């Protein structure tokens, strides 16, 4: 009887060990899947660059995109001028509206420095029309829904669900077509001021 009791106890211990081992394996597999899912989500939430961001000294890629006026606008149209090419996430959002208003406010200062401002986002021409009409924007906003130009300049695109957004980056392009300065914009409110200061410094 004692031997049968001991044998039964050993079988229960073996079964419990097997169940525990299987449970640990299940937890490990579950942990791996969670890590994979988290990695995918992180990759979608964080901007991914299609190419290296253009740095100072690089030739600025030429492009042609439609503006809110439904006319094609090319970088080559502004040869001999300073070009402030700024990429932004989304029309009519708070940060992008502040940034656009400040560029609009300073247009006379840019004109005095022989400079133009061009905004680019993944939004459509119709969206740009609405944004410009609603906020009285007169400089050109260019539609790049296929992110051809965004990719050419190495600007990251972030995805949230079905929505995609370009990162807030600005390139200062010289009259000869070279990138002279690049900003990953953090200070939205003061950004136009720092761009104007950079152009003035380059002209000295």
Nearest to 117 by CA among 84, 160, 149, 148: 84
Checking DSSP bridges between strand 115-121 and strand 82-87, what pairing results, if any?
parallel
Structure tokens at 37: 């899912």
96 is catalytic: yes
Which of 58, 73, 75, 96 is labelled catalytic? 96
Report how far residue 13's alpha carbon sits from residue 8's, in angstroms, rounded to the nearest whole number: 9
Q: Give me the half-sphere count of Cα atoms (radius 13 Å) on the Cβ side of residue 177.
A: 11
Parallel, antiparallel or unpaired: strands 140-143 and 163-166: unpaired
Residues with catalytic function: 96
């Amino acid at each position: 009887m004692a031997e049968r009791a001991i044998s039964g106890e050993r079988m229960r211990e073996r079964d419990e060990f097997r169940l525990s081992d299987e449970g640990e394996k299940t937890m490990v597999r579950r942990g791996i899947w969670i890590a994979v899912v988290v990695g995918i989500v992180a990759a979608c939430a964080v901007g991914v660059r299609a190419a290296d961001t253009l740095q100072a000294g690089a030739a600025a890629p030429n492009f042609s995109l439609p503006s809110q006026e439904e006319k094609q606008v090319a970088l080559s149209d502004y040869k001999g001028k300073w070009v402030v090419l700024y990429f932004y996430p989304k029309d009519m959002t708070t940060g992008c509206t502040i940034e656009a208003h400040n560029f609009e406010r300073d247009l006379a200062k840019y004109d005095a420095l022989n400079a133009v401002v061009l905004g680019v986002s993944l939004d459509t021409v119709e969206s740009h029309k609405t944004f410009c009409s609603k906020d009285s924007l007169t400089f050109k906003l260019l539609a790049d829904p296929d992110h051809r130009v965004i990719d050419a300049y190495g600007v990251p695109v972030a995805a949230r669900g079905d929505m995609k957004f370009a990162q807030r980056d600005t390139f200062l392009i010289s009259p000869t077509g070279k990138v002279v300065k690049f900003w990953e914009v953090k200070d939205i409110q003061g950004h136009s001021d720092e761009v104007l200061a950079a152009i003035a410094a380059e002209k000295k």
